[in-house]
Structure 1
């Protein structure tokens, strides 16, 4: 028997924190998952995991201290904890500490890595030299390759067929140690593109979940401007705002323009054109070797003209990186989906480790 536990993100206001938890809880209920809300609204209290659940095994979902101690270090220091990385592990910053060598990583009973490079990094940079790491592939992307999966068309209905482009900006507007985001540079230009291309292109705005919060605190943005910007994407005839699940969004799209982290690898699974917006010429030094390989099979954009050229290529049905993307998938992705999928590999590993029949 298993349960999902909806836990708080503590760097928001209490009102926002509880609202997000409730939304998460309801979404899991809709998907028929057995879920527990860590917040008890009747008693204005928080669930004590040991007293009220006392699990045998815990899957952790994020290595960073973003929640209360009772749902972070109190768990991984006292229980058998396993971890599937929350992203496809493409980045390199702070000497790999944040993603590979926190107390969290070294305390995990087992980490299920998305690719072979991940294991090599753990071996070199983790205190425990990657002794708890097993390479399984990335389970979060299985639907992209599942031929039996029937995707829902989540795109807004249009009067006629248009090219479907996702714009997915990253949140790192305030992180010089990981300078992915170009949002402040291109935010208004993408609004212009929406109007210019309204007869040929429909757009989905898929921002990183942390971007909105950071913009509200930014000196040149603030809450009012941020809300107006989000409303724009929600309300145009050829746009939509996407802040949740993205499997169906990706599958029914035609292309992606972004500067995000995990999407650098994830979108390659659908094998469609992608433009990565670069914030500086040496951006590859912020990718690990796997991330560099993923980056090399994308189109790159340094200025507005590169975005225009990419869109024009889509209109002309040109896809210059298709062969390179396929080579990347053959080398780095398909081997983990050939005989078994990553989630099955993980389940088998758990059963074998704990001698479960």
Structure 2
């Protein structure tokens, strides 16, 4: 049975429920229906008479169901179980919110680490083990999603009251760990691990895969990075963004009030053969979309893959480099023939760490590198917005297929830009801007940051404070 056939087979059950009045406030919807029933209608809107209206009615009933469950459990002074879904430590944005809940006896937060099913077995196992170990080592309550088989929610602490999603790509998870298998009494929250800035050249990708993606229309709450992003959900979403709240970008709470670093701490992060204070520090961040086909194409890595090692060698006495690729680059580089095997890519990755002034990381947290760096060279997506928080220069590597959301376009205009194949201009950026200190774009970066992303100035609260208060307030009402 195909995915489409599976969801079409659920439609008679939905239509029978509609005829019974189940979506008019019936009492037993908490257990009878799962989010897969919403998915069945969402995928077949054009096949159902007044499909949009039926979907919105079902969505409203689902939200009333999970909201009622939370309020009643909260009123009985029962602990609210909150599962954070994660498949990558590098993408973890919710440290402060998790600790808020951990300190509050009304909540039982924990993390479910899932393997990525769209990776080859070696990458899947390696990424899963690295992520699981990172959470264990950093003092989180964590469940691993793999036993003798892929485990279900019931086997991972039980059906949670709230699931907090950090990525919308639920299709990459084992089927047993997809939110679609959860009953309506479970409230789903989305806190993006990245800022929504990437699109394709004809501006259809962000509508279909972000603002009107299925999961976005099934959430109890969606906390967004900026008011302009909220407006996009209102404009393009089937439910017109009724579940979206402007909180600011949670991951960047760590950068709003950045800590200072000692010289020794910086030296432990960045490799160099001499005095670290005499070195400029540059992050190289390639995206994985190196092919010429697909809905989203951004990477220029094919044009400059070996140039980075050349630069690291050439500037070994003045620049320390951090190679921070997208975690999916390893698989894509082999898939599209840039490397003949994973072993060849691994040798390339290792070559960075063999240099006296360079380091390569993949599944590690990178905020401290942002704070201590001097510049970034990238064709990444979410880093476009994230790096603006540290107010340092960026060279964005371009290719014709790239596109951006309204927010992304505003930010990229404040960055230095050159085609990914223009090696001469890449080196000129290092010489003139990074080493030479000439940064004429700085005022423009500061102005765009203040207008769109400076949520602390606008709200006078950190994002984790806003989110935590909103969740508690909804259960107290």
**Superimposed CA distance per residue, residues 143-177 of structure 1 (whole angstroms, 9 cap, x where no aligned partner):** 12224565842112431321111100001112443
State the structure with more CA Rg: 2
Query: How many Å apart are 1:76 and its aligned residue?
Result: 5.5
CA distance in 1, matches of 2:308, 2:187: 46
* 3-state SS of 1:275 partner: strand
Q: What is residue 57 of structure 1 aligned with on the other side?
A: 162
Q: Runs of 5+ in structure 2 lacking a partner?
A: 1-107
Q: What is residue 240 of structure 2 aligned with on the other side?
A: 129
CA distance in 2, matches of 1:176, 1:69: 24
Query: How many Å apart are 1:340 and its aligned residue?
Result: 0.5
Whether the 8 Å CA contact 1:136–1:336 is kept in 2: the answer is: no
CA distance in 2, matches of 1:329, 1:230: 33
Give matches, 1:217-296, under 5 Å: 217-223=335-341, 224-243=343-362, 244-280=364-400, 283=402, 286-296=403-413
TM-aligned CA distance change 1:318 to 1:133, over 3 Å = same
Query: How many Å apart are 1:198 and its aligned residue?
Result: 1.4
Which among 440, 449, 453 is matched to residue 320 of structure 1? 440
CA distance in 2, matches of 1:200, 1:85: 36
* 3-state SS of 1:272 partner: coil
Q: What is residue 109 of structure 1 aligned with on the other side?
A: 220
CA distance in 2, matches of 1:19, 1:211: 14
Aligned residues: 350
**Superimposed CA distance per residue, residues 203-254 of structure 1 (whole angstroms, 9 cap, x where no aligned partner):** 1100001111111222242224312211111211111002111011111111
TM-aligned CA distance change 1:324 to 1:198, over 3 Å = same
* 3-state SS of 2:198 partner: coil
TM-score (norm: length of structure 1):
0.92
Which among 171, 178, 191 is matched to residue 309 of structure 2? 191
How much is the aligned-residue C-alpha RMSD, in angstroms?
Answer: 1.9
CA distance in 1, matches of 2:150, 2:173: 12
Give matches, 1:115-154, under 5 Å: 115-148=226-259, 152-153=265-266, 154=269
* 3-state SS of 1:2 partner: strand
Whether the 8 Å CA contact 2:289–2:296 is kept in 1: the answer is: yes
CA distance in 2, matches of 1:158, 1:172: 34
**Superimposed CA distance per residue, residues 100-144 of structure 1 (whole angstroms, 9 cap, x where no aligned partner):** 222211111111111112111111211111111111110111112
Give matches, 1:30-179, under 5 Å: 30-40=137-147, 44-50=148-154, 52-64=157-169, 65-75=171-181, 78=184, 79-93=186-200, 94-95=204-205, 96-148=207-259, 152-153=265-266, 154-160=269-275, 161-174=278-291, 175-179=293-297
CA distance in 2, matches of 1:169, 1:144: 22
CA distance in 1, matches of 2:260, 2:144: 29
Whether the 8 Å CA contact 1:264–1:295 is kept in 2: the answer is: yes
Query: How many Å apart are 1:75 and its aligned residue?
Result: 4.5
CA distance in 1, matches of 2:313, 2:182: 50
**Superimposed CA distance per residue, residues 295-340 of structure 1 (whole angstroms, 9 cap, x where no aligned partner):** 0111111212221221111211111111111112211222335511
Query: How many Å apart are 1:15 and its aligned residue?
Result: 4.5
Q: What is residue 103 of structure 2 aligned with on the other side?
A: none
TM-aligned CA distance change 1:15 to 1:277, over 3 Å = closer
* More helix, by proportion: 2
Q: What is residue 451 of structure 2 aligned with on the other side?
A: 331
Q: Runs of 5+ in structure 1 lacking a partner?
A: none
Q: What is residue 2 of structure 1 aligned with on the other side?
A: 109
